[in-house]
Structure formats: structure tokens, C-alpha cells
A and B are shown apart, each in its own frame.
Chain A
Amino acid sequence: MSVDGKSFLGTAQLLLNNGGDEAAHRSAISRAYYACFLSVRETAFRHCDPDVRKRNFRKERDVRHSLLTNCCTRPGVSTTILKLGKDLDALRGNRENADYEMLAHVSFRDAEQAVEEAQALLEDLRQIRPNEIGKALEDHIKAICRTT
């Protein structure tokens, strides 16, 4: 049984709504990011050219964080994809901060904003043609292969 990445947004909201402590705020930020990362990755992987996919990835999880955002911000992608990439980078940065930077106080508002950002990103994702994201990944992989 597979889990839909988007369902982690519900987990993030639960953590937020349960009036938890800072650990809950940090976890909500992390879950909000993963809801988006997993959704974008699933779309990109599924709609990427099957040959490129087969040659370069054994499985979906081989598409790592940097690779996914870099493919969305590479030259030639549409403004929509570019924005998606930077929105994902923003959530990723926020998540790395929440997971590793223990000196920073993470407030309820920080977590709430991350959840709102994730909601907006997933809404944007619904408006984008999946093939466009698949093509961005495909082109990025081809470009990497050309330079190595």
C-alpha cells in the first residue's frame, strides 16, 4: 500500500492544531516540506521520459532534494516551474533549519506559515501540467549526462 505524499500536509496541520510544543512546530514544518517534496517528485518521476528514467534511476527515491529543485530552476524552464522550484527550496530551507538548527526558536507562526506555504504550493502543482514537470526533470538529467 502506498502513501500519498500530500497526506503529510494533514499530519502537519494536526501537529499545528493540537497546540503542541516547539518540537511539534518543527515537525509540522518538516512534514509540510515533505508533503510538497514527495508530491512534486512523484509527478516529475512519473511523467519523465521512461527511457531517461530507466537509465538514471533505480527507483523514485533516487531523485534527491537538490536534483528535484535544480531541475525546476534550470535555464529554459517556464516561469511557473521556476516559481515552483523556488517555493520548494524555501520550504526545504525552512525544514533544514527546523530539523538541524537547535538554537533557533521555532514559533507557532513559523509552523503555520510553512503549512500555508505548502498548501499554496500544492495548489499551484495542481495547476501545472504534469508533463511539464516531467520534462524539466528529463532535460536536467540529459544536461547532467552531457557534461559528465
Chain B
Amino acid sequence: MTSSVADSPKVLRRGRLSLVAESAEESAPVAVLSVDMLPEEGNRPTRRIDDPWFGSVFHSSVTPSSTHRFVPEEPDDLWLRGANMEGARNIILQYALVRPAGFLRLEWSRELSHYVEPTRLEVGPAFGTLSEKVAEFIEQESLQDAMIWLITNSPRFFPGASFEVDVLDHEEGEDALVALEIHGEFPTKEFRERRHRICEALLAAGFRHLHQLISIFQRSEHVCGRQVFSWYSSVTVE
């Protein structure tokens, strides 16, 4: 059985990002989210990703094929009932922040398949890949949680749009701005109102630092050479 979250791999600026679920041979209920680095990426140190559902139960290790594997030790009923999907989603989002280009693979056992099968998994909004510069900035400014919030919530405020995040060049002595470029067709008045709402919500969610650094504006075209892709996909079981 193969469950594919990304029906076809999306071609990105620097590689391929997709999520594939496959049956595992083990009989124990086990799920593995692995991230295959692209050849040019090389091995990176193992990274533990904290997550409300997966964080405390995951081990990660680097396999010889540069695959990061995350294995829950004792998935309980709640996890099986679908929290796993939310957890997987968070992990993917977090991982995408630190490793923008990679190959994500989610595997689970046959025992899990009947729980997983009816579950729709939405793997984030239509966001473009984050560059190394952006990923470094996010880490340096400790904006991970805020960015997860932004990536998760932006489509709610700007339905139908796609998004790019960038750290803008700036003059010496000025603070860097994190640009959230909205690629949409909102009339100016409506766009401003939507921006006000997302900024209010960002503050209400407690992310004042990102609120201060963010610049949200609309663009009609994507940056040349960057391909925006959609992470919205659902689990389908073949």
C-alpha cells in the first residue's frame, strides 16, 4: 500500500519536496516521517523537532542515505485517531523552515492504515520554498513558532492566494524586514483590511516580534526563477 500526500513531486528551485506514505514491514504500529536530503545537501546533524504530538516521542537519526527518520515510540489511541496527522503536518512545516528543500517521506504500518485511510491531511498552505537566508534569519531571531503560525494561518486571511516569504535587503542601521508577499488579486481596500486583520491576529497569538518585523504586501507576479508550489494535498490510498 502506498499513500501519497503529494500526488506528483513538485519541482522546486533547489530540489523536490513531497510526502509519501508507504507500508512498513513491521507489525508494530509504527510511523516514520523521513526526510531525504538532496545529494548536494549532504548530511546535516540530526535535528530533534518539538511538536505537541510528536515532540516527546520521536527519535531522529540519520540513515546512510541521508534520511532523517522520526519514529513515535508508543503511539496511543489519540495519536491513532488522527492527531498523528496534525503532528505530521506540524513536523513538515517545521522541517520546511529549517530544510527548505528535501524529500519528505511518511511511512506507517498496515495496522495503522485503516486509521489513516479516511484522514485527510493538509500539509500546509500554498507557500513558496524558504531560502537558506530566510531559514537562518528565522532561527537567528527565534521566529520558528511565529512562522508556523503565519504559514498555517495566512490562507485563512488571504484565501486563494499563494505566498512567498523573504528577508529583504535593507540599508545599514535599519532593521531587516520579513516580507510576506501575497500573490493574489485582492483590490487594494480589501487587501489592506485583510492585512490589518492578520496583523491583529498575529499579535493576539502572542507573536509580537514577528509582528514588528513583518511587511505584508501584494504582488501580481512571482519572482522570476522561483516556483511557488502548493502543499495542500490530501492523503490518498492506492
A residues near B (Cβ < 8 Å) are: 64-66, 70, 73, 75, 79, 82-83, 86-87, 89-94, 96-97, 100-101, 103-105, 107, 109-110, 113-114, 116-117, 120
Contacts and interface: CB of A to CB of B under 8 A. Distances in A.
Nearest to B179: A93
Contact of B188 (A89, A103, A120): A120
Interface residues of B, number: 33
> Binding site of B, secondary structure by majority: helix, strand, loop or mixed?
mixed
Contacts of B174: 64-66
A117 B188 contact: yes
B169 A64 contact: no
B19 interface: no
B170 interface: yes
20 contacts: A64-B174, A65-B171, A65-B174, A73-B211, A75-B208, A89-B214, A89-B216, A93-B177, A96-B169, A96-B177, A97-B166, A97-B168, A97-B219, A100-B169, A103-B223, A104-B221, A104-B223, A104-B224, A109-B220, A110-B220
Given A73-B211, A73-B212, A92-B215, A87 B223 contact: no
Contacts of B230: none
Interface string B77-108: 00000000000000000000000000000000
A75 B209 CA distance: 11
Given A83-B196, A87-B192, A93-B179, A101 B211 contact: no
B228 to A, nearest CB: 13
Given A64-B174, A65-B174, 8 more contacts: A73-B212, A83-B196, A97-B166, A97-B217, A100-B168, A101-B169, A104-B224, A107-B221
Nearest to A90: B217
Contacts of A89: 177, 214-216
A16 to B, nearest CB: 13
The 8 closest A-B pairs by CB, nearest first: A93-B215, A66-B175, A116-B188, A100-B169, A94-B217, A96-B168, A104-B223, A109-B220
B45 interface: no
Given A104-B219, A117-B188, A117-B192, A93 B168 contact: yes
Contacts of B39: none
Contacts of A91: 217
B173 A120 contact: no
B199 interface: yes
Nearest to A91: B217
Interface string B192-207: 1001100110000000
Contact of B216 (A79, A90, A103): A90
Interface string B137-176: 0000000000000000000000000000010111101110
Nearest to B226: A103
B148 to A, nearest CB: 21
A38 B174 CA distance: 16
A73 B179 CA distance: 16
Contacts of B208: 75
A65 B174 CA distance: 7
B42 interface: no
Contacts of A110: 218-221
Contact of B173 (A64, A82, A109, A113): A64
Contact of A105 (B173, B191, B221): B221
B168 A86 contact: no
A73 B211 CA distance: 8
A101 B192 CA distance: 23
